[in-house]
């Protein structure tokens, strides 16, 4: 496909059901070819792992650091190398809940240095002989392949990962995913005038920051933020959620559009909408300058 499809927005997110076989990079490239956009992806899955893969295009690519940090959830099929009771497997799973040490596997593309990750939950779903099906909710960057090996050591039987599927990344889960074939069909329908299927598959950049605290800015302050100006309380009309000084917050318009990300200069409890004083320093701007009319005047020399 050449050129850019006019019915595809400039910026957005597609949550793809990555199949087993191709790499995450290859799947993202296919999405880019289908949409006619340059893309990036967040949260690499090994070729033989399937499930939720977040593909971004346009300005949404700048949200990669936020998307990469999201907690993940997987369903894993593990094969034990010896016999073990369900009770002992469930007990071992409890022992791995919380903060754990991991070293990335040899086939990983990252440096194999020791790291700490947190396992929020491990639920044993089913067992059939030496096959164990479990669901795990964990920090980003947790290696489930390594977790299986360590569970096997704890059981005294050894174990390895047989199959893995990611079912959630942050607020994106299997209810929002689309297959490559469905996306291609939606683009074909859009070319013929039916834009509804495609519109339902492309999420706005604001969907990526659903879990972040938000600062709502008045229309007259939006363009100043787009030009990198530090946001003052007089430009704020509201806030959603709490945040501490130094934490990342989402800067949104009164319509809910994502302007960008910023770092809190004060605690949310000290932020008083409409009052003077700097409150948020923009770090990543997604909205294009000029989208909203300028409500400020540039200083000129005297």
Q: Which domain does 105 fall in, by range?
A: 71-169
Asked whether residue 115 falls in the same domain as residue 235, the answer is: no
Considering its fold, how many domains does the chain have in total? Answer: 3
Residue 165: count other Cβ atoms within 10 Å of its Cβ.
19
Would you say residue 292 lies in a domain?
no
Report pLDDT digits (tens) over 258-286: 999 999 999 999 999 999 999 999 999 99
Asked whether residue 227 falls in the same domain as residue 268, the answer is: yes
What's the pLDDT score for residue 46?
Answer: 92
Report pLDDT digits (tens) over 54-94: 999 999 999 998 898 899 999 999 999 999 999 999 999 99
Side-chain-side CA neighbours of 170 within 13 Å: the count stands at 20
Asked whether residue 223 falls in the same domain as residue 186, the answer is: no
What's the pLDDT score for residue 297?
Answer: 56
Asked whether residue 194 falls in the same domain as residue 216, the answer is: no
Asked whether residue 119 falls in the same domain as residue 160, the answer is: yes
Q: Residues in the chain with pLDDT < 50?
A: 1-2, 299-302
Asked whether residue 136 falls in the same domain as residue 192, the answer is: no
What's the pLDDT score for residue 132?
Answer: 98
Asked whether residue 199 falls in the same domain as residue 143, the answer is: no
Would you say residue 298 lies in a domain?
no
User: Rounded to an integer, what distance in angstroms lies between the CA atom of residue 85 and that of residue 276?
Assistant: 64
Would you say residue 182 lies in a domain?
yes
Asked whether residue 54 falls in the same domain as residue 184, the answer is: yes
Tokens linked to 202: 């492309």
Contact indicator for 208, 88 with CB cutoff of 8 Å: no
Residue 121: count other Cβ atoms within 10 Å of its Cβ.
12
**Of 180, 206, 232, which closes a domain?**
206
Q: What is the CATH number of the domain that holds 120?
A: 3.30.70.3190
Would you say residue 253 lies in a domain?
yes
Asked whether residue 59 falls in the same domain as residue 83, the answer is: no
What's the pLDDT score for residue 299?
Answer: 47
What's the pLDDT score for residue 115?
Answer: 87
pTM of the model: 0.88
Would you say residue 78 lies in a domain?
yes
What's the pLDDT score for residue 260?
Answer: 94
What's the pLDDT score for residue 109?
Answer: 59
Classify residue 110 by its DSSP letter: S
Would you say residue 3 lies in a domain?
no
Asked whether residue 107 falls in the same domain as residue 180, the answer is: no
- Give me the active site residues, please: 46
**What is the SS3 string spanning 67-94?**
HHCCCEEEEEEEEECCCCCHHHHHHHHH
Q: Which has the closest alpha carbon to 188: 11, 34, 13, 30?
A: 34
User: Rounded to an integer, what distance in angstroms lies between the CA atom of residue 90 and that of residue 78?
Assistant: 13
Q: What is the CATH number of the domain that holds 225?
A: 2.30.130.10
CA distances from 28 to 14, 57, 168, 179 (A): 10, 10, 18, 12
User: Rounded to an integer, what distance in angstroms lies between the CA atom of residue 154 and that of residue 95?
Assistant: 9
What's the pLDDT score for residue 300?
Answer: 45
What's the pLDDT score for residue 6?
Answer: 86
Asked whether residue 53 falls in the same domain as residue 86, the answer is: no
Asked whether residue 216 falls in the same domain as residue 198, the answer is: no
What's the pLDDT score for residue 104?
Answer: 75
Would you say residue 117 lies in a domain?
yes
Would you say residue 4 lies in a domain?
no
């Amino acid at each position: 496909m050449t050129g850019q499809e006019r019915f595809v927005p400039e910026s957005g997110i597609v949550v793809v059901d990555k199949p087993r076989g191709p790499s995450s990079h290859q799947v993202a490239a296919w999405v880019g070819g289908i949409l006619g956009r340059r893309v990036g992806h967040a949260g690499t899955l090994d070729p033989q792992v399937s499930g939720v893969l977040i593909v971004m295009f346009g300005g949404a690519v700048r949200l990669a650091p936020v998307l990469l940090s999201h907690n993940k959830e997987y369903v894993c099929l593990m094969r034990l190398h010896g016999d073990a009771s369900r009770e002992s497997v469930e007990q071992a799973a409890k022992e791995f809940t919380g903060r754990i040490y991991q070293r990335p596997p040899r086939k990983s593309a990252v440096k194999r240095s020791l790291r700490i990750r947190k396992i929020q939950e491990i639920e044993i779903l089913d067992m059939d002989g030496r096959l164990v099906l479990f669901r795990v909710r964990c920090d980003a960057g947790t290696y489930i392949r390594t977790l299986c090996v360590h569970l096997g050591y704890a059981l005294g039987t050894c174990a390895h990962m047989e199959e893995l599927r990611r079912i959630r990344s942050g607020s994106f889960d299997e209810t929002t995913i689309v297959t490559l074939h469905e996306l291609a069909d939606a683009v074909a329908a859009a070319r013929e005038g039916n834009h509804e299927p495609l519109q339902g598959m492309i999420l706005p950049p604001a969907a990526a920051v659903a879990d972040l605290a938000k600062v709502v800015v008045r229309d007259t302050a939006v363009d100043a933020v787009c030009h990198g100006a530090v946001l003052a309380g007089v430009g704020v009309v509201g806030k959603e959620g709490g945040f501490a000084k130094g934490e990342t917050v989402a800067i949104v318009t009164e319509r809910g559009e994502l302007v960008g990300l910023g770092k809190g200069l004060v605690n949310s409890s000290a932020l008083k909408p409409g009052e003077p004083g700097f409150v948020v320093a923009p770090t990543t701007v997604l909205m294009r300058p000029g989208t909203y009319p300028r409500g400020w005047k540039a200083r000129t020399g005297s």
